[in-house]
Amino acid sequence: MKAKTTRILITGAHGQLGQALLANLPWLPEFSPSRLRMEIPEASQVPGSAVKPRSAIAPGSAIEIVALGHQQLDLTSADLPERLSEINADVIINCAAYNAVDAAEQDMAAAMALNAEAPERLAIWCRQQGAWLIHISSDYVFGNVFGNDLGSVFGNVSGNASANMLGNAPRALTESDVCEPLSLYGQSKLAGEQRLLKANPGALVLRTSWLYSRFGSNFVLTMGRLLTERPELKVVADQVGTPTWAEALARLIWQLLIWFHLKPEKSAVLSGCFHYAATGQCSWYLFTQEIAEQIAKQQCNSAPSSQAAVPLQTASPSQAALQSQATLHSPANPAPITPRCRITPVSTAEYGALLNRAQAPRPAYSALDSSALKDAMAAMPSAFRCYLPKDYQSPIWLTWQAQLALMFSGLGAPSLD
């Protein structure tokens, strides 16, 4: 096949998913680090990867990656179309977002600018230039699809851990379920989806939920720290969704990009709106319990006579607290087997009272059904899979528990061999 160049722009590259995309590059000849153009400041390098900033692109390269954070590319700036034309990407992966759910209640203009207006502007440029746009959205576009009171399913939460068993939970939400966001953040994300797809029906919207990883600030890293700092954690048990490993989502996106690159003509691989999340569902309370179990397992597997065991060894400085506070230890620093912390389920209302501040409303149930996307991916030509490292795809369709275990074990990191 005649070599061609595909230029990929990643916006929001300093965020959790942006870093996960860069850390999970399929290390194949066409993705050689010498053929990678980066524009991320040295201090923001993705830890543990072979990615380094480069001012030049190797001659004859097949794939170019331009990864820009907010300081390098402000999606709300008036000159955005001109900046995009300078970059001239064939694909844009929009990871940039206003994610401060509670703050959006007081600053809707900022949320709309980044979550709704910017995606629309990206979509218009991509349509005009024939580029493909992949946009990341949120499960918070949904309201209480199954009614305001899920008490009959989840029971009386307060003081009753057994009420969080999900044997009778509703079905996961599909792309055809009605979106009625409860928060201004959710409204801004839904507006972004709608405006983007109206401006460019060939774009792809990927809705995902409860993202976590070894990067940035997220629930897993926060709970890992708090479990060793506090004697008790009170965690919401009446909100149910699907925790999703950002690095699994990143690998799914790279599959789509390889398919795009290998196509005879540069045209959208998928378009419209699709859900992606791990399989299964849980409450924040059960999620926290599983995090504690994973920490305990890592501690059990770390024998004092063995080499230092730090499963999150590639974590950035922002995760240093998790590594030390979660007692992921070395022989010189033995640690207790389990975090000394009691995890107590509380209702959303009870948690709000504990915060003593206004909280944006969240959906009581937002587990996502990814079957439509899985079917679409299964229809992809099988030949492209030879361009992926062995086991590269394996984390994508796992349960949320299995994805979490991979993150803690470090086994999910792609091989550089």
Q: Which of 185, 285, 351, 365 is catalytic?
A: 185
Q: What tokens appear for 348 in the block?
A: 């959303």
228 contacts 187 by C-beta, under 8 angstroms? no
E strand segments, 143-293: 204-208, 211-212, 232-236, 240-241, 244-245, 272-275, 282-283
> Helix, strand or coil for residue 199?
helix
Residue 351 is a catalytic residue = no
313 contacts 214 by C-beta, under 8 angstroms? no
Closest CA relative to residue 95, chosen from 134, 43, 59: 134
Report the alpha-carbon distance of residue 154 to residue 132 in Å, rounded.
42
E strand segments, 292-354: 342-346
- Residue 279 CA: distances (Å) to CA of 172, 287, 321, 400: 9, 13, 29, 6
Q: What is the DSSP string of 113-174?
A: IIIIIHHHHHHHHHHHHT-EEEEEEEGGG---TT-S--HHHH---TT-GGGG--TTPPPPB-
Active site residues: 185
